[in-house]
Amino acid sequence: MKSSKLVSLSEAVSRLVPDGASVVMGCALEALIPFAAGHEMIRQKKKSLTLIGPISDILFDQLVGAGCVEKIRAAWVGNVITGSAYNFRRAVEGGNLKMEDHSNLTLAMALTAGAMGVPFMPARTALGSDLFRTNSGLKTITCPFTGNILTAIAALLPDVAVVHVQRADVFGNGHIWGNLGVTKEACLASRHVILTAEEIVDSQVITGDPNRVIVPGFRVSAVVHAPWGAHPSPVPGHYNRDHQAFIDYRNRSRTVDGFEEWKKMWVDPLRDSRTYPELLGKERVKALALKHHLPSVPVDYGY
């Protein structure tokens, strides 16, 4: 029989995210951001990581603040509803962080190239912009058919993709729904995939609807049970976005000391992701839970 890939968050991160690894996260943009996994990287004091992702919405800022990051390859690093990411700003302005500037499209196409197994993708974006000056993975080429000037975007091939899903089986088959961002491309482009899942379910729930599988189990290296593992970002079917947490983080992270306080409160106490809902507290859990349930109409995979 197939063997289970279910491990603890601590084991997944310690085995698959060595110092110096390149990690793609926050692939669904504002939703399903794997905060639990990122916080475990902070607890394990990872060093010299390269972070890859479209916008990250404060997760990258937290890893930068904790000193885990050497380089970021991203389109945007900030706090969606408040603006600046302060650790990120301090690090770049202090010359302590390498930056490769993408747009959302160049990043998506770079991961698509990695997923498809080609060394680059041609695009019509970014021409005339200064992204070419702060991203060595962009060059201009001429189309062999039309003569158009195009942007060639070098493939991104992360060491590991960390993806939060709603439900997964122990073999690594996971369901995701909602807006998908660059999740599929990131999984296929990466050497390893870690799934953190709100729920671990019977395999038949997953293989009973194979169109919702984001990446086949044989491409996944580890599955972790991490309820509320994407908080404060939203998880369709599970919980709403915790806007207040993003505002609180902005306020705390304005100073280095404030960030340390935030970290002491939200990252350090946890040794096992299963206790996160306790840390969050019953009231907040209740406030963020779905109030209106809208189940999809089933489809038939019979024969």
The yes or no reply on residue 114 touching a copy of itself (CB under 8 A) is no
Give the chain's radius of gyration (CA, Å): 19
The helix (run of H) or strand (run of E) holding residue 288 is helix 282-288
> Toward a copy of itself, which CB reaches closer, 90 or 238?
238
Strand 160-168 and strand 192-200: pairing?
A: parallel
Is the link from the previous residue into 295 a cis peptide, with omega within 30 of 0? no
Q: Which of 175, 192, 225, 250 binds a copy of itself (CB under 8 A)?
A: 175
> Toward a copy of itself, which CB reaches closer, 9 or 138?
138
The yes or no reply on residue 166 touching a copy of itself (CB under 8 A) is yes
Are residues 73 and 48 in contact, defined by beta-carbon separation less than 8 angstroms?
no
* Footprint of another protein on 112-171 (CB under 8 A): 112, 115-118, 123-131, 133-134, 140, 148-150, 171
* Footprint of another protein on 191-250 (CB under 8 A): 204, 206-208, 210-211, 213, 215-219, 233-234, 236, 240-241, 243
Are residues 166 and 176 in contact, defined by beta-carbon separation less than 8 angstroms?
yes
Strand 22-24 and strand 160-168: pairing?
A: parallel
Which region among 8-16, 43-51, 268-276, 287-295 touches another protein (by CB under 8 A)? 287-295
CA distances, 273 to each of 3, 4, 36, 262 (Å): 23, 19, 7, 17
Interface residues toward a copy of itself, by CB under 8 A? 109, 116-124, 137, 139, 141, 143-146, 148, 150, 152, 154, 166, 175, 177-178, 180, 205, 208-209, 211-212, 236-238, 240, 290-303
